[in-house]
Chains A and B, each alone.
Chain A
Amino acid sequence: MKQPILTVKNLRTYFYTEDGIVKAVDGVDFEVFQGETLGIVGESGCGKSVTSLSILRILDEKGKIVEGSIIFDGNDLTKISEESMRKIRGKDIAMIFQEPMVALNPVFTIGEQIVEAIVLHQKVDETTAKKMAVDLLRKVGIPEPEKRINEYPHELSGGMRQRAMIAMALSCKPKILIADEPTTALDVTIQAQIMELMKQLQKEYGMAIILITHDMGVIAENADRVVVMYAGKAVEYTDVKTLFNDPKHPYTWGLLHAIPRLDVEQTRLYNIPGIVPNPLKFPSGCKFHPRCEFAQEKCSLEEPELIEVVNGHFVRCFFWEKVEQAKKKEAGDEQ
């Protein structure tokens, strides 16, 4: 049995704002294994990004991890000192963001920023670090790296910036790379290039990737296992094939039917009624019940737990069997 390199258990991160407590992450569990890609998927405000910020402990001052544990290398990242955390950040666990223009510092060249990361975490001098930086830029597919290393972020295109950020993240050969919507700001042909690059580098470095996205297509293409989040909670957690072919949570099922597909003719998309609830006023009981077509009275009163319904398939729903019936009916309709 493989040992996970990262175990997140019952993570809860709340933001104490003037308007009240925002339970941005309110019960998330998953494990990450070496060399695999764990996808975290959900709509805006579901807590997927805050989950990743919690792992690295880079929340803003209003945000606090109030419960749960994040075990990495035998240490609980929620408990270790800021100093120890700083040694892990960028070295063992690195992160790339959706908008590289915001994540990169506009007043330093690409080279200076990569060299800084290398010198900080590895015992090398600046000349060596600079050589390493050029090699990294070449590796991530930036043409003429010797020249590009002296350019500022604004001189690069969006795709090239994302490559530069990946180079920086990889500079210390991290064990885990957190990629938060890495291709959302990019055109689809560039997205394909970046995802391909990440896959190839993952093979080479053997690192694990936590891929955060709202795009089910990107998940289908890249993830090995998937956490589906809704209103701060993990609602379904299983391997990627099972998730798409045998979704058990009504939200996952609805979401998969709500996206148009490139490869088939469809006449109608499934409607999940209503909208994602306001995090200051989450509904009682199951957070999804007001939008759920399978909801019963119990759902508005009690909160379901994330339970393992089949081997390795976790679902947070009292009535997941009803989705099974709906799936059977759907299969019947098609015949």
Chain B
Amino acid sequence: MSEILLQVLNLKKYFPVKQGFFIKRTVAEVKAVDDVSFEVMKGKTFALVGESGCGKTTAARTILRLTDPTFGQIFFNGKDLSKLKYKELLPYRKRMQIVFQDPMGSLNPRMTVAQIVTEPMLFHGIVKNRKEAYDRAKTLMQMVGLRPFHLDRYPHQFSGGQRQRIAIARAISIEPDFIVLDEPTSSLDVSVQAQIVNMFLDFQDRFKFSYLFISHNLSLVRFISHTVGIMYLGRIVEMGDTDEIFEEPLHPYSKALLSATPIPDPIVERARKRIILTGGVPSPIKRPDGCFFNPRCPYKMDICEKEYPELRKISENRRVACHLVK
């Protein structure tokens, strides 16, 4: 049985929608993350998956306190981070890192790779001086498949995949326990994606990193994660062991999502029965009454328009929020 590293309890993040010319009034709220709870185990990967606007990225940012939660608790190794002040957070920041989707946006174009990779080490006092930081940076470059001489170059001199390697080198430079991977390969070609993803797995083996993996790519989620939470309009609708969910999804949205993801094998793919949903994702400002998925759900019942189903534990490894699933 592995230990819990990160426990998120009833996390909420609401963004006000303001209107008015002189006096701005809050007219509505976007409930980007609405009562989300999950756990990340030590040395394991938990994935949050869903379509655009489901709140997966906001959840990750809130956990790192890059934005403050509206409500809820974030326990990291048993300590609640949700209300800590900036200074109190610092020792925890050292143990948490993030790799963003767009490496060009997350690397300062005016800094050399050496400056980018050594900054966190110097800031958190992991190394004694610049010289030691630079030496460590050389090792890091080799670990992520780059060369030491790359340290003196600038981000624009690299390809997308190489930039993501630099961002990874920066993230692992301070030997964190926990890394958020926010769509880290979605801007990369598949051949490069495979290289980067294999690297994440190698590092997890070697350094026992715990990952929170954010993605809309279900095939990738199956490959990389141990447990998964499927999100729809700010809430988790199904959560549990990745392989179990992918073998037998129970929530109608999970079923539709898996069914919509094509399998790269024409014989298997064409033999599948597909569920094609009608309509698009509703606006997060005006979510439907009852279960948020009910307007698109092929199995809709009367109760689904009235009551939001609770995320119930239905077996050892599975929680589902659906009136249909008992």
Chain A positions within 8 Å of B, measured between CB atoms, are 43-44, 157, 159-160, 187-193, 196, 214-221, 240-241, 244-245, 254-256, 258-263, 265-266, 268-273, 275-276
Contacts and interface: CB of A to CB of B under 8 A. Distances in A.
Contacts of A241: 266-267
Contacts of A217: 219, 261-264, 269
B285 interface: no
Given A217-B263, A241-B266, A275-B159, A260 B219 contact: yes
Contacts of A265: 222, 243
A188 B266 contact: no
B87 interface: no
Contacts of B198: 268-269, 271
27 contacts: A43-B190, A43-B191, A159-B280, A160-B280, A188-B218, A192-B259, A192-B277, A193-B276, A214-B190, A215-B262, A216-B190, A217-B264, A244-B265, A258-B193, A260-B220, A260-B223, A261-B222, A261-B263, A268-B198, A269-B194, A269-B223, A270-B194, A271-B195, A272-B194, A275-B161, A275-B162, A276-B189
Interface residues of B, number: 45
A221 B266 contact: yes
A43 B268 contact: no
A190 B296 CA distance: 12
Q: Which 8 A-B pairs have the closest CB atoms?
A: A217-B262, A260-B223, A192-B260, A258-B194, A187-B51, A269-B194, A216-B264, A43-B189
B144 interface: no
Contacts of A268: 198, 201
Contact of B246 (A157, A221, A244, A262): A262
A258 B198 CA distance: 10
Given A255-B191, A269-B223, A270-B194, A157 B261 contact: no
B128 interface: no
A188 B265 contact: no
Interface of B: 51-52, 159, 161-162, 189-195, 197-198, 201, 216, 218-220, 222-224, 243, 246, 256-270, 274, 276-278, 280-281
A82 B220 CA distance: 46
A270 to B, nearest CB: 6
**Residue from the set A240, A258, A270 with the largest chain B CB neighbour count within 10 Å:** A258
